[in-house]
Amino acid sequence: MTAIRLSHPPQRHTPFDPYRINVDLHCHSNVSDGVHTPEDIAERAHANGVEWLALTDHDELGGVARAGKRAAELGMGFIHGVEVSVTWAGETVHIVGLGVDIENAALVDGLARTRGGRAGRAQEMADGLAAVGIPGALEGAMKYVGNPSLISRSHFARWLVEIGRCDDVREVFGSYLVEGKPGYVPHRWARLPEAIGWIRGAGGVAVIAHPGRYRFTDLERHAFITEFRDCGGEGIEVLCASHTPDDARRAVLAAREFNLKASRGSDFHGAGESRVELGKLGPLPDSVEPIWAQWGIG
């Protein structure tokens, strides 16, 4: 078991019930592809009744101290987090790191390398869109970027909605930004062992983000989770915005089969864009152990 790094001493419920506490361990600020500032995320989470929050921006730690400072002012528990982009067997998967030391050099360097290719990729995405009669996409996307080193497909999606190409970002992804579509550019992110190594080396725990989203065969899924476990990964998201009830059931089965702890996170990106608000997911089923049960928070 890893000792988790908590931002400030927990205030205990008595008795402590890990299934009851409002924990949200996955969300984004405009330091990656979220809409709101890190401070606003902390305020919004607190207003929604979140007791422990982790900010998990993509490949970036720049918002963590800011959100953590606001969380401390509000008396809300806060956990330092990140969501690392990984390429495994040609598929993009996301690994959430919780409780990381945000000054750990290997983690900081690894994330810088992981996000390093985003600028070139964004130019290629814009070229692909220009080729189908949509010029100016890079400049358009940049209007939505809060952090120039973290330009993401989400920023293109917001601009494509703005210019009326689609009604919402979900539709943009299906029509323009997924494999086989004009704005899609394949990219090689971090390798699974190195991403888990950075997280663990920085004192954190690694969690498989939204497992229901990956288009794996059963065999691939088994191999992926086996490798994740063998590299020291400890958790899997059971409840998150993109999971159907069936996805959640499958994640519960995986947690039990591979002896992983269960996590829960809204993956909130912004008001009006995200399916689930900060802190508004339901409780975990009692057939799995919440990953935070071992942290002594409450």
Q: Contact between 266 and ligand AMP (CB under 6 A)?
A: no
Q: Contact between 57 and Mn ion (CB under 5 A)?
A: no
Q: Contact between 58 and ligand AMP (CB under 6 A)?
A: yes
Q: Contact between 269 and ligand AMP (CB under 6 A)?
A: yes
Q: Which two tokens mark 32?
A: 């990656």
Q: Contact between 152 and ligand AMP (CB under 6 A)?
A: yes
Q: Is the peptide bond before 135 cis (omega within 30 degrees of 0)?
A: no
Nearer to ligand AMP, 122 or 260 (CB): 122
Return the residues of window 69-128 that contact ligand AMP according to CB under 6 A: 85
- Of 1-9, 98-106, 147-155, 197-205, the window that binds ligand AMP (rule: CB under 6 A) is 147-155
Exposure b/e, 27-63, CB count within 10 A at least 16 = b: bbbbbbbbbbbbbbbbbbbbebebbbbbbbbbbbbbb
3-state secondary structure of 239: strand
Nearer to ligand AMP, 209 or 251 (CB): 209
* Binder of residue 200, out of Mn ion, ligand AMP, none (CB less than 5 to 8 A by kind): none
**C-alpha span between 86 and 92 (Å, rounded):** 6
3-state secondary structure of 31: coil
Query: Beta strand pairing status for 91-98 and 77-88?
Result: antiparallel
As measured in angstroms, the least distance from the Cβ of 279 to ligand AMP is 18
Among 18, 23, 24, 33, binds Mn ion (CB under 5 A): 33
Among 24, 57, 247, 267, binds Mn ion (CB under 5 A): 267
| Alpha carbon separation from 41 to 7, 66, 118, 226 (Å, rounded) | 16, 10, 24, 34
Cβ atoms within 10 Å, residue 282:
9
Q: Contact between 115 and Mn ion (CB under 5 A)?
A: no
Query: Beta strand pairing status for 235-240 and 23-24?
Result: unpaired
Nearer to ligand AMP, 57 or 289 (CB): 57
Where do the DSSP E strands lie in 99-170? none
Nearer to ligand AMP, 13 or 275 (CB): 275
Q: Contact between 170 and ligand AMP (CB under 6 A)?
A: yes
Cβ atoms within 10 Å, residue 99:
23
Tokens 């004192």, residue located: 203
As measured in angstroms, the least distance from the Cβ of 2 to ligand AMP is 25
Return the residues of window 18-37 that contact ligand AMP according to CB under 6 A: 33
Among 173, 228, 268, 292, binds ligand AMP (CB under 6 A): 173
261 bridge partner residues:
235
Q: Which two tokens mark 129?
A: 């869109």
Which spans of this chain sit near ligand AMP (rule: CB under 6 A)? 33, 58, 85, 152-154, 169-170, 173, 269
